Chains A and B, each alone.
Chain A
């Protein structure tokens, strides 16, 4: 059976939280195999929610999320966990286990899902740590690492089972320029050398546009634009330009919706 060209296909998807707040409305996104796709948008547009939908941690209210040819929210628990073995996810804060050292953190998926010998696990873990440049930290505990290093260790852990898809949740947020540069380089090199499919959810325009092959921009529950980074920069849409140029007011308003100011004053 030939592999579908797109690893992830989201069609006509809407999602509403339990509290009734709608996050997405009729969203269509395709993630092609072997490419780096960026999903960008202002804070609070539900970018992390989108990753959780792709990972099957949340189910859409309507529409479909297909990953590797399978509708992820219709899978049984067993099949979902099977599929997740082929995915890696890098969380915003890394999500390293605080009671395990760096080595054990990276070895965790290998110990859980394989029956490899201890010496094999040792070699694999050191190889993965070498890939992210942190082999020397194998004995350290997560609280001894800087934020950028913790993310790199988490990245080593995410690739330890050689996944076909890796999802990055705001990988560049809160990083100093050097760590940011290291992470940008890593995302690019790993995608190429391991033949991964990468999804980056971010609002760091410059860094993400540098490495993405294709970009989706989500504003106000909908995809407002998509294309290659060059075409996004050229797009005349006001919503897109506001986001890319970082304008404080525009189609995405500066003010949070509220009753008229006079009414609020009179109430006091």
Chain B
């Protein structure tokens, strides 16, 4: 019995320690920013490898999501004679929910896992230690640029996701199923509010960007420096980041709708 209590205690302490380490890492990344001259090229490089290189998966997925949404939505709306509402249906679901959430989950799978694996491997191959011994802080040189790169990329990817998904819905709804283009766009314009829908969606993506990149850099930096350790850190990054995105989405939606 005592053993079980002590196991629960150990588990609790380990988890708290983990949260503590993650908190300290986050604090140091936020408040010990590297100087602009050295930091900017590194961040730009990360925006390229985390953001630009994620474009393909974001564009292809969002195009298909928009197309499927239009196809499904059209047939359901048509039953009620409301197929002219296809534009608002697609735009609201994408801009408010699907865009930020799916883009963040794809980002966690594409860029988050790459960041974790890269940092973990740098640790396993003593690159992080050698950097420390050369009096270069790996938090400034490695962790911080990756965090800020993800922070900048995530909202931009979400905007691209939203636009492509709506374009996909336009292709299916207007070009294929014959919804009138004027009605499609004008209903969308009159139903979607810039602040309540578009801005709130982007705010969500900023929060998701912070959560995903924070989890990715933490898992990489504290990975056990072995092949098994890096493999499990990469898996944990994707699982935790996806769960965090879904959980945060509920909290943020509740806050934005005004229930909290």
**A interface residues, Cβ below 8 angstroms from B:** 52, 55, 57, 77, 81-82, 84-85, 87-89, 91-98, 108-109, 112-113, 154, 157, 161
B134 touches A109 (CB 8 A): yes
- Give the residues in chain B near A108, CB-CB below 8 Å: 134, 136
- With beta carbons under 8 angstroms apart, the residue of B130, B137, B141 that contacts A81 is B137
A92 touches B135 (CB 8 A): no
- Give the residues in chain A near B126, CB-CB below 8 Å: 91-95
* A81-B137, A96-B127, A154-B130 known, 17 other contacts, Cβ within 8 Å: A57-B132, A77-B137, A84-B133, A88-B133, A89-B130, A89-B133, A91-B129, A94-B126, A95-B125, A95-B127, A95-B129, A96-B130, A97-B127, A108-B134, A112-B38, A112-B135, A112-B141
Say whether, besides A93-B125, A98-B125, A84 and B134 are in contact (CB < 8 Å): yes
- With beta carbons under 8 angstroms apart, the residue of B125, B129, B133 that contacts A87 is B133
Say whether, besides A95-B126, A97-B127, A57 and B134 are in contact (CB < 8 Å): no
List CB contacts (< 8 Å) of B24-60 with chain A: 38
8 A-B pairs with least C-beta separation:
A95-B130, A95-B126, A84-B135, A81-B135, A89-B133, A91-B126, A85-B135, A109-B134
Number of interface residues of B (CB under 8 A): 13
Q: What separation, in Å, do the CA atoms of A81 and B133 have in the docked complex?
A: 8
Q: What separation, in Å, do the CA atoms of A108 and B38 have in the docked complex?
A: 12
- Give the residues in chain A near B132, CB-CB below 8 Å: 55, 57, 84
User: A-facing mask of B74-88, CB < 8 A → 1, else 0?
Assistant: 000000000000000
- Give the residues in chain A near B133, CB-CB below 8 Å: 55, 57, 84, 87-89
Nearest CB of chain A from residue B137's CB, rounded to whole Å: 7
- Give the residues in chain A near B136, CB-CB below 8 Å: 108-109, 112
List CB contacts (< 8 Å) of B120-164 with chain A: 125-127, 129-130, 132-137, 141
Nearest CB of chain B from residue A98's CB, rounded to whole Å: 7
- Give the residues in chain B near A85, CB-CB below 8 Å: 135
